[in-house]
Amino acid sequence: MKKFDKDRLILGLAGPVLALVVALALTTVVLLASGRNPFEPYRIMFDSASYVDVQVLIINQAGTYYLAALAVAVGFRMNLFNIGVDGQYRLAAMMAALVGASVSLPGPLHIALIVIVAMLVGAFWAGIAGFLKTTRGVSEVVSTIMLNSIATALVAWLILPKNFGEQPAGSNNLTTGEIAESGWFPGLPMGDGGDIYGFTFVAAGCGLLYWFVLNRTRFGFDLRATGASESAAQASGVDAKKMILTSMLISGAVAGLAGLPTLLGDTHTYSLDFPTGIGFTGITIALLGRNNPLGIAFSALLIAFLDKSSASLDQFGYEKEIATIMQGLIVISVVVSYELVRRYGVRRQQQKVGEELAAGHAIKTEKEAAL
């Protein structure tokens, strides 16, 4: 048993490590082909990340990425591809900001209301895709892509001044209005480096809850069983359709939380320049982290590091898009490396079974010879 666990650990680490090595190698080739120093950008980024303010930015960004990736991972464990996390996240942040700016409550209640609204909106938007899949057999890939576009249009309509938005004097930006200070989530001061968002620690708690529910509860077992084989789960008494809908609702609720680190810790309003594309980055991070909460945490920190440390590349004559290239190569490398590792794992398992059968046959032969 110990050897099996060791093999499983090695195979689990082999995929992401191989993906990162390949991505770095390909990025180096791209730099060489463009006539650039292939190692200098890495040094610049690591030097940049040595400053406290950049470290704070990386941690804060990682918290947002972590929640988005957890939302994607919930779907992945059910064999569902929730591409709509970005739309769910933006619509939830928008509605939470509107509600938060329109009420005045004692601090804990104000924050709780904003969190609940964000989760409900995210769950509702993802639930549409879940409902369509369970009742009409519509692929969640198709429906969530379309819902992303609808969410974009809906947010753009809601934020218009003639509807629910505001336009600050002398600005072309549109906002939902600022949330009162009672609705701000306190952070962890880091001196001149700024504050680590308090909601980043909530994100870490969500990761622990994700692990516990998935690995230590009946619901988590049913979810994993349904994701592995829907027909087998149904044969064992699990309502597969109910699990699909529930998983989409949970995935959307977690996606709704992804905008709160920024909303409650920094901007305190939703505006046209609110971060976008978080959901798609979450897909990369969930894949790289193998849907494991600890793996997702390291992956979120890596992608956040590439995002924030690359800002200094421009100052040294390198394009900051180098980090974007690396992220794209990581995605491609993840797909290829995981397939290679999977095939190796299958061959290795077949080899072990063959060895065990051969060993059993040899023991049987020895006993027969002794008789």
291-320 tens-digit pLDDT: 999 999 999 999 999 999 998 888 888 888
> What's the start-to-end Cα distance of the chain, in Å?
32
pLDDT at residue 3 in the model: 46
Reported confidence tier of residue 154, pLDDT bands at 50, 70, 90: very high
Q: Is 222 exposed, middle or buried (0-12, 13-18, 19+ CB in 10 A)?
A: buried
Put simply, whether the predicted model's pTM sits higher than 0.85 gets the answer yes
Q: Tell me the chain's radius of gyration from C-alpha atoms.
A: 24
User: Which range among 96-100, 218-222, 283-287, 328-332 has the greatest average pLDDT?
Assistant: 96-100
CA 240 – CA 246 distance, rounded (Å): 10
Per the CB < 8 A criterion, the answer to whether 72 and 248 are in contact is: no
Q: What is the pLDDT of residues 326-353, one digit of tens each?
A: 888 888 888 788 778 778 777 877 787 7
- C-alpha closest to that of 70 among 242, 247, 188: 247
Non-local CB neighbours of 159 within 8 Å, separated by 6+ positions: 94, 165, 174, 175, 176, 270, 271, 272
pLDDT classification of 67: cutoffs 50, 70, 90: very high
Q: Which of the four pLDDT bands, split at 50, 70 and 90, describes residue 4?
A: very low
What is the predicted pLDDT for the residue at 185?
96
- Quote the pLDDT of residue 5: 56
pLDDT at residue 262 is higher than 80: yes
Cα(337)–Cα(343) distance, integer angstroms: 10
Rounded CA-CA distance 255/278 in Å is 10
pLDDT at 91: 97
Q: Which of 39, 3, 16 is nearest to 337 (CA)?
A: 16
Tell me which of 47 and 15 has the higher pLDDT. Answer: 47
Residue 6 has pLDDT above 80, yes or no: no
pLDDT-based confidence at residue 71 (cuts at 50, 70, 90): very high
Q: pLDDT band at residue 208, thresholds of 50, 70 and 90? A: very high
Minimum mean pLDDT range among 132-146, 201-215, 335-349 = 335-349
pLDDT of residue 186 exceeding 80: yes
Give pLDDT, residue 2.
41
Q: What is the pLDDT of residue 1?
A: 41
Average pLDDT over every residue of 184-204: 94
Q: How far apart are CA 88 and CA 277, in angstroms?
A: 11
Q: What is the pLDDT of residue 370?
A: 67
